[in-house]
Structure 1
Amino acid sequence: MARKKKLNTVDFSANGSTSCMPSSSNNSIHDASTFDALHSDTQDSQPLKRVRGPTTLPDVWALPSDKRITVSFNHLNQPTGQEGCTLGFFLGTLVRNAEITPLLYNDWRCFPKELKDHLIKLVKNRFDLPQMAEIWVLKSLGRSLKGYRSDLKARYFGKYPLKEDLLKNRPVGIPNVQWNFLVNFWYSDKNMRNSSINKRCREKQKMPHTSGSKSFARVASEMASAGLEHSRAHVFLETHKARKDGRPLDDNSSRATESIKNKLIQTPSEGQDIRAFHSDIYSQVIGPDTYGRVRGLGLQAYPKSLRTVDFSVDGRTKVDEINDIKQELKRMVANQEKMQAQINKLESLLVDKGAVETSSTLCENEST
């Protein structure tokens, strides 16, 4: 089994803690119920083939109240690195817990502000996030919730053709009121119409990526760290490869990758200024972006957000430079703490040595 990579954490003072749980014992009870809900099956389930199961992240849920996982963010306030991956998985554990994220709202935009604020607090209790990153967190929560509801429908809606049977086979972990609400929503005329439209739109997506759960932002960040070109065209090539199980690319993706490669040969070094998305190689091959959207850059990539990106002279963004400074400060603090520990150890040794010498002198005086 591969060894898990240790996540970067930062200490928080007790006064600065914003824990939503009253005590550690209550935390344990709450987390146990979360994991039970995530692992459980339907009430009438039979023994099934053993599968991986949903991600639960027990180490993150059990993180001490004075610790936070530090996450790096790029110029679009998208999380990167292994810590960014952990953040995304943690958001998934939140939306799959019906006690935290109830299934009583048809749309994420209908969620009350109080519930969204509570979710943000739960995230910030375990992750060190800048203020601007909260927008990404909320958008990602909405997308994760939509995906979870879709998974539930794919798993149960077709399995039980009759509505009565579907209502009886409620998944353990979802309250009866919430399950009834969700099933009634699936059978509503409005949802039936939207579902039909969404299926037709899904069929028009001809070039699925092969990067799995890794976001485009993380792919681009890893390419940049390795010193590779990471424009939209290069990221497309990196996320549209033959799959690990040997399955080839679809015909549309194969033709697009060949066209991009040919254009990159003619233009070996495409500029990294993402603000030129209207005329880059990606848009020449894949086509222009629809209004208000920029493809190939991940969640929260909009024309307005790209126009406000501030680049330095060498092409790196100001956010990149700030992240470098933060990392350097963390190294300096760690070195200072290490030096202070060594000084304390030396002082303790000197005190002990002085106590021994004083005791020896007293013994000599008593003997004389």
Structure 2
Amino acid sequence: MSELTNFIRTIARNPRFINLMYTSWHAVPKDIKKRMWEYINSKFLILVKEKKWVMTGLHDAWRRHKQNTKERFFDKNSTVEDMLAKPPDDIPEVQFRQLIEYWKHLTVQAIYEGNYKNRKQQQWRHRMGPINFARVRVALGVAKENEEPLESEMFIATRTKTGKDIQADTKVAIDELQNRQNFGETTDDAFRVVFGKEQPGRLRCYGRSVTTSSLKEDEETNKLKQKHANEISSLKEEMNEMREEMLYCFSQLLQINPGLNVQDIPGVVGSNLVSPVDASSAQAVRCQNIPHLSGSTHDPVLQKVYVQSRSASGDWIFEADEHAQLKDK
């Protein structure tokens, strides 16, 4: 996941795929987005349902790259000539001049100031930087022996950083969460009281592009995968039991018929063991009423005779013939 995330950021910063001349991600042409998606998908095996996550990553990385470029190379108090004297290496001078003129526009500056104030008013901002919440969730799950982390644990993990002071509003929220849990409230109830109801279209502590419906789909997919794994395990156990039973039957045959040549019964043990599909169309070998292949010429009449025959796959199997009876030689 980390390698894919880094690759997405690299593509979003690569001017051969996309430049910074677009006013927003919505203004980026669809053919450019499609080209980036196809190129990433050619390097990594990505499910179609994960396309939204990839495009969100491209969007965030491109916007962050544009913001970092502005912070490093643009100064609203400097002249255009002064800023052009030290341009970015990956942006042609013509494009950089257009960006400067766009950023210096009074309307654009007013929009920027408004967005800056809104970001300052946001509560409980996470401290993970470019690290996505999915990686944090997996790391917490591994630490808890694959147990799903609680929302309160995710909140604390994504809002605190080693060596950094906790933001005031975040510290208040964490203290209230812990106090409510200490007084007997469940973790879920305490979390809902402190942070209120979920906003439509998103889930707290899951990161962007994760919704209630997508989370439910993932849970159903995981259940199907687990069911499939259980079925495979059950088939393997059944095949092992068949192998052991057939080996036991052969050992009994050899005891009763010491002169029996095992090569006369090919393809029953080992790599040619009948598959579950073949076994379902023929009765399993039962070590009851095993006929003597040598010895007395007057064998008693048996209720069942095991007949050697080939299955549909070409393997040799034994089938019980209820109607056949041994006669005196």
- Please give the TM-score of this superposition, normalised by the length of structure 2: 0.61
CA distance, structure 1, for counterparts of residue 209 and residue 170 of structure 2: 24
Partner of 1:318: 220
CA apart distance, 1:289: 4.1
How many angstroms apart in 1 are the aligned matches of 2:39 and 2:210? 25
Change in Cα spacing, 1:320 to 1:177, as seen in structure 2 (3 Å) is: farther
Q: Displacement, 1:104? A: 2.2
Question: Contact between 1:98 and 1:175, CA under 8 Å: does it hold in 2?
Answer: no
Show the counterpart of 1:116: 33
Aligned to 1:232: 151
Specify the alignment match of 2:87 in structure 1.
Answer: 170
Aligned residue for 2:13? 96
Question: C-alpha offsets along residues 71-103 of structure 1, whole Å, 9 cap, x if unaligned?
Answer: xxxxxxxxxxxxx22211111111111121122
Task: Tell me the distance in 2 between the aligned counterparts of 1:89 and 1:327.
Answer: 32
In the alignment, residue 5 of structure 2 is paired with which amino acid? G
1:40 alignment counterpart: none
Structure with higher Rg: it is: 2
Structure-2 residue corresponding to 1:140:
57
SS of 2:159's equivalent?
A: coil
Aligned to 1:298: 207
Q: Which amino acid letter does the alignment assign opposite residue 156 of structure 1?
A: F
Aligned residue in 1 for 2:45: 128
Q: Distance in 2 between matches of 1:321 and 1:151?
A: 42
Partner of 2:322: none
Q: Which residue of 2 aligns with 1:207?
A: 124
> Aligned-pair distance for 1:254?
1.3
Name the CA distance, whole Å, in 2 between partners of 1:160 and 1:99: 31
* 1:181-196 matched pairs, under 5 angstroms: 181-196=98-113
| Secondary structure of 1:239 counterpart | helix
CA contact (8 A) 2:152 2:187 kept: no
Counterpart of 2:87, as a letter, is R
Determine which of 69, 73, 79 is the counterpart of 1:156. Answer: 73
- SS of alignment partner, residue 132 of structure 1: helix
* One-letter identity of the residue aligned with 1:320: N
CA deviation profile, 1:268-298 (whole Å, cap 9, x unmatched): 564xxxxxxxxx5433212344454433210
Shift of 1:124: 0.9
Q: With structure 1 as the length reference, what TM-score do the two structures score?
A: 0.55
Q: Deviations over 1:195-217 (max 9, x none)?
A: 01111112112433233432222
User: Are the aligned partners of 1:160 and 1:166 in contact in 2 as well (CA < 8 Å)?
Assistant: no
Amino acid at match of 2:22: Y
Partners of 2:119 and 2:187 in 1: CA distance: 34
Distance (Å, rounded) in 2 between the aligned partners of 1:104 and 1:258: 45
Aligned to 2:261: none
Separation of aligned partners in 1, 2:12 and 2:190: 37
Structure 1 residues 303 and 185 mapped into 2: Cα distance closer, same or farther (>3 Å)?
farther
Report the alpha carbon displacement of residue 114 of structure 1 after superposing the two structures with TM: 1.1
Q: Are the structure 2 counterparts of residues 304 and 186 from structure 1 closer, same or farther at C-alpha, using a change threshold of 3 Å? A: farther
CA distance in 1, matches of 2:138, 2:20: 34
Q: Deviations over 1:2-28 (max 9, x none)?
A: xxxxxxxxxxxxxxxxxxxxxxxxxxx
Q: Which amino acid aligns with 1:87?
A: L
Structure 1's 211 and 111: CA in aligned 2 closer, same or farther, altered over 3 A? closer
Instruction: Tell me by how many angstroms 1:109 deviates.
Output: 1.0
Listed one character per residue, the Cα deviations across residues 187-235 of structure 1 (whole Å, up to 9, x for unaligned) are 2233212101111112112433233432222222332343345232221
Change (3 A) 1:215 1:263: farther
Give the superposition deviation at 1:251: 2.0
Give unpaired runs (5+ residues) of structure 2: 231-270, 272-329
5 Å-filtered alignment, 1:1-368, equals 84-158=1-75, 161-225=78-142, 226-241=145-160, 243-244=161-162, 246-265=163-182, 266-268=184-186, 270=188, 281-303=190-212, 305=214, 309-310=216-217, 317-321=219-223
Unaligned ranges ≥5, structure 1: 1-83, 271-279, 312-316, 329-342, 344-368
